[in-house]
Amino acid sequence: MSRDCAEFQNCIADLQLRNKSILDITTKLSEQNARVNRAVAKSVTRCGCISIDATKQVFSDDKTLHENKELLKTHIQGGLCPTCQEKVEEEIGDMLFYIASLCEALNLDMQDIVEQKIKELKTLGIFNLL
């Protein structure tokens, strides 16, 4: 497994001067979540490169998990244009910054968290989502 998360967390630990308080970090993380949501919404409402056509998700007991998975939709029509993709990626990157900051403040290893989650997902498979 790559140690990219550890390198990212170490970089942030070395560079972070502002917002070092756990209160600053958690509130900035919440704010950043709203910025990600806003960037996606603006891709719909301002740019129009994507649209959302949301309907009820139908899950049938008569179908296999694989068949049901094929029927479920993201509700997204189209794809992000390069400008919107860049903005969404930037906002997600900033969100990752605050997640890594939170890990650092709480003395948690982001790489270990990712590896544990992967292990859990592989072990539980589809049952992790129920």
What's the CA angle centered on 87, arms 18 and 117, to 5 degrees? Answer: 70
* Between 18 and 119, residue with greater pLDDT: 119
Q: Tell me what percent of the chain is helix, strand and coil, each rounded to the nearest 5.
A: 70, 5, 25
- Distances in Å between the Cα of 108 and the Cα atoms of 3, 69, 115 are 14, 34, 13
**What's the rounded Cα separation, in Å, for the pair 26 and 67?**
39
- Mean pLDDT in residue range 101-130: 87
**Gap between the Cα atoms of 114 and 109, Å rounded:** 9
Ordered domains of the chain (ranges, CATH): 4-15+23-125 (1.10.287)
Provide the pLDDT confidence category of residue 2 given band limits of 50, 70 and 90: low
Average pLDDT over residues 16-37: 91
User: Rounded mean pLDDT of 54-80?
Assistant: 90
Alpha carbon distance 9, 15 (integer Å): 10
The neighbouring-strand residues paired with 51 are: 77
